Amino acid sequence: MSVFGKLFGGGGKGGKGPSPQDAIQKLRDTEEMLAKKQDFLEKKIDQELMTAKKNGTKNKRAALQALKRKKRYENQLNQIDGTLSTIEFQREALENANTNTEVLKNMGFAAKAMKAAHENMDIDKVDDLMQDITEQQELAQEISDAISKPVGFGEEFDDDELLAELDELEQEELDKNLLEIGGTEDAHLPNVPSTSLPSRPAKEDEDKDDMDDLQRWAMEAM
């Protein structure tokens, strides 16, 4: 019989052992019970310590008995600490084993699903299918290229002839402009005004007046 079977009362040959979830829950319950026992012992230790202090000078016998009880409680507390460590280690190991079991179970389920998905697949058929897809894509691209090319509906033009025709049109336009410029020579021009512009005083008259004034001033000075 396994350790789990002995601990949790597992059956013999035909008996079914506890599930990991049940075992983990029982270990947690045990931890909780021992934690409560710890709290109880810690309170008893404090009480015995107070009793020993209270009777230390008055009643040494009572004080010694209190210290002895305190030591027993401390030993029990140490035992519980060790038991809790063992149970915690066992619970963590069981939880890890349960997790690994679930992971492997799910991985096996996924492997079976993948196998079922690939059961009706033939690698040769897959290659043929991918080749057909590639050919259809190439054909679709050729069709798109053919549709996108400009079409002339059967008419083809010579670029040299078109350029020559364009030069002729430009020359005709140039000749037309030159004829329009030549025709302006016979156009009616405005008449010259018949009235003369107002005359300005001659500069020589101004200079002569200045000389007369200078001579007159010189004669008076003599």
Residue 115's domain is classified under what CATH number? 1.10.287.1060
CA atoms of 10 and 107, how far apart (whole Å): 29
Amino acid at 200: R
Residue 176 lies inside a defined structural domain of this protein: no
Q: Which two tokens stand for residue 76?
A: 């029990």
Domain count within the chain? 1
* pLDDT of 96 higher than 90: yes
Residue 59 lies inside a defined structural domain of this protein: yes
* pLDDT of 148 higher than 60: yes
* pLDDT of 47 higher than 70: yes
CA atoms of 19 and 86, how far apart (whole Å): 20
Q: What percent of the chain has pLDDT over 70?
A: 73
Answer with the residue of higher pLDDT: 167 or 218. Answer: 167
Answer with the residue of higher pLDDT: 220 or 144. Answer: 144
Residue 3 lies inside a defined structural domain of this protein: no
Top mean-pLDDT range of 12-16, 20-24, 82-86: 82-86
Residue 166 lies inside a defined structural domain of this protein: no
Residue 60 lies inside a defined structural domain of this protein: yes
Domain enclosing residue 37, as ranges: 20-152
Residue 14 lies inside a defined structural domain of this protein: no
Q: Which two tokens stand for residue 115?
A: 């196998």
Look at residue 3 in the predicted model and tell me its pLDDT.
47
Q: What percent of the chain has pLDDT over 90?
A: 32
